[in-house]
Amino acid sequence: MPLSKAEKTILLAVWERISPYIEEFGAQALTRMFRCFPETKIYFHEKNIDPGSSYVRNQGGKIVTAIGTAVQNADNIQEALADLCCLHAYRIRVDPVNFQVSQHCYQT
Tens of pLDDT along 72-90? Answer: 988 888 888 888 888 877 8
Q: What one-letter code names the amino acid at 89?
A: A
Instruction: Pick the range with the lowest mean pLDDT from 6-10, 26-30, 57-61, 75-79.
Output: 75-79
pTM attached to this predicted model = 0.77
Note the pLDDT of residue 96.
60
Residue whose C-alpha is closest to residue 49's, from 26, 15, 74: 26
Q: Look at phi and psi of residue 51 and say left if phi exceeds 0, alpha if psi is from -120 to 50, else beta.
A: beta
All domains of the chain in start order, with CATH: 1-75 (1.10.490.10), 77-108 (no CATH)
For residues 33, 34, 36, 42, the Cα torsion angle rounded to the nearest 10 degrees is 110
Residue 78 CA from chain centroid, whole number:
13
